[in-house]
Amino acid sequence: MLVEGIPAKVCSRCGEITFSSETAENIRLMLNSNQKSQRKIEIDVFAFSA
């Protein structure tokens, strides 16, 4: 699943992207609800081989 527009903070030193526990909980609730997605996309899938 792809969730767009997640409010996040970016560390000015290392560039790490983080979001609050409240945001994480809201995402969890959204993905586990019966809410319909806004749209569907098709993506290419590759299998990694060493």
Going by the DSSP 8-state scheme, the letter that residue 36 receives in this structure is: P
Euclidean distance between CA atoms 6 and 19, whole angstroms: 8
Q: Which residues pair with 9 in a beta bridge?
A: 18
Please give the C-alpha separations between residue 41 and each of 1, 19, 23, in angstroms, as whole numbers: 10, 25, 24
pTM of the model: 0.66
Two tokens at 35? 């809410």
Tens of pLDDT along the chain (50 residues)? 889 999 999 999 999 999 999 999 999 999 999 889 899 999 999 999 98
